[in-house]
A and B are shown apart, each in its own frame.
Chain A
Amino acid sequence: MTPDWSSGANTAASTPAPVSRDAAVLRSAAGRLREHVDERWVEVADLVFSRVFTATRPSRPLHAVASGGPFHVTEQVVVSYLRASIDQVADCEVLRITVQTRSPDPDGSQGSGAEVCTGVLVELAVRYGTVLIPLADTVRRVASERIAQLLGSMASEVSVAAMHVHMADVTVGDPKVGTDRHER
């Protein structure tokens, strides 16, 4: 019995031209491979993830003060927590968060390499039709509260004026879902 490569079924087929038959065999083989999931990947995927997540991203330390004393928080942690808090606000999606810093005063904790957070820029995509001014106020309030929780009294420099909210993009649908611009 000759497999029918054009349909992928193992049934008798008419005799097509040799070139197209080669192409049909390869197309069928490619399809088989595409449908195939290597068992090994199923077995190791979780282990691969656990190893990947042990990697840390290089990030600047920022000064923070708790009731028990000063400590450092990386910029990555601040950005991650800020993003998670702002994500609770409907009709907007955080595109980018930039933390502005300055060097600490000479009488601060020298030599640690940590900087003082002086401001935050939050760039957003918003759903078309959203009223922007209340949204900006909400995002600014949420971000300020989070910064205060993260940096303690060191957040005092991050005033409302230093908390910039920039509406960078507008989407027709929910910006938290998005559409792949690169889809063919």
Chain B
Amino acid sequence: MGEMASLRSDEVLARRSGFGDRVAFAELVGRHGASLYRYAVRMLDGDHHAGEDAVQEALTKAWIHLGTFRGDSAPKTWLFRLVANECLSARRRHRPRPVDDQTLTEVPTNQGSAPEEVTVATDLRRALDVALVELPWRQRASWMLREVEQLSYAEIAEVLETSPAVVRGQLHRARANLADRMEQWR
């Protein structure tokens, strides 16, 4: 059974979760939990505790409502929409936090002596994290969902409850803004 369980589609796992199958729900979240958490933390300006709360709230809602999930969208898209909504609620509850000057001065660069590849990769990711914090919310969400989570424009539109055309525009601006902020990494 264990081998078969690993082969099950997201749709089968979501349906079984709807019947109250905890193992199926754990497997479904096991596939996407790390991505959902990564998205939540970046949308909440790197606050891991807030990201954890958002994912937990979203998964709780998913667990409660999976019994009525009809599969109109992919389970992964649906889970991202729940997390996106929780992130939006969390942002509305808390006042926007200004970007810390200290944070900006700590943006890692690749200038100076040649670093090891691992260090470059880690620094590049950290620099991206800092750059993402400076992006407007919808641009950040669109870019994360497209470039990191590799959702289609239609799926992103569904997650963010907008149109694919708007997503396309947000992505265009996000790429330009990020390119500016990551200029020193060229």
Contact = CB atoms under 8 A, between A and B. Distances in A.
Interface-centre pick from A10, A22, A52, A57 (highest chain B CB count, 10 A)? A52
A171 B61 CA distance: 30
A109 interface: no
Interface residues of B, number: 59
Interface residues of A, number: 54
Nearest to A36: B125
B99 interface: no
Interface stretch (A42-50, A100-108, A142-150, A151-159): A42-50
B147 A55 contact: no
A177 B8 contact: yes
Contacts, number: 148
Interface in A1-37: 1, 3, 5, 9-10, 18, 21-23, 25-30, 32-34, 36-37
Given A33-B128, A94-B19, 14 more contacts: A1-B114, A10-B115, A25-B124, A25-B182, A28-B124, A29-B182, A33-B38, A49-B26, A51-B56, A79-B20, A84-B19, A176-B12, A178-B9, A181-B71
Interface of A: 1, 3, 5, 9-10, 18, 21-23, 25-30, 32-34, 36-38, 40-41, 44-45, 48-49, 51-53, 55-58, 76-77, 79-80, 83-84, 93-95, 97, 174, 176-184
